[in-house]
Amino acid sequence: MSKTINVAVPSMGKGGLDAERSPHFGRCDCFSVLSFDANNKFVECKVIANPPHVEGGCLAPVNLLAANKVNAIVVGGIGGRPLAGFKSVGIEVFVSDGDYVKDVRDNYEKGKVSPISADFVCGGHH
């Protein structure tokens, strides 16, 4: 049985492959969830609405994505608290170039996403 990998990309507007990436995952409009097969080949894209960002709300997307069987998230930046939250529920956090969701899809298929490092964590999000 092949395993599907679901990779969330914080997105603007209605989401999807042509959507712009959001610079702040906690305040993104939605998550475009890219599904890949066991060989890292793209299968489909689904969209999950992101609830409004409230005080302490950086962990709400963590729980939302975990409940939707997301295995990884590709961000432009992230604070230490949500990074720890994603790690605690087994969601890997990666960084990647690209302004659009389809850029992340292409980079993931090519193995051009990198695990986030501690020195990449955004300030002001503890």
**For 54-79, what is each residue's pLDDT tens digit?**
655 667 888 899 999 999 999 987 88
94-119 pLDDT tens trace:
999 999 999 999 999 999 999 987 66
**94 residue type, one letter:** F
- In contact, 33 and 16? CB cutoff 8 Å: no
Cα angle vertex 72, ends 23, 25, to 5°?
A: 20
Domains and CATH numbers, the chain: 5-118 (3.30.420.130)
| pLDDT score at 124 | 46
- In contact, 105 and 17? CB cutoff 8 Å: yes
Segment holding 103, helix H or strand E: helix 101-109
Q: Which two tokens mark 37? A: 């097969």
For the purposes of burial, counting CB atoms within 10 Å of the CB of 81, is it exposed (0-12), middle (13-18) or buried (19 or more)? middle
Helices (H) and strands (E) in the chain, counts: 3, 6
Please indicate, yes or no, whether the overall pTM of this predicted structure exceeds 0.95. Answer: no
Cα angle vertex 17, ends 10, 94, to 5°?
A: 40
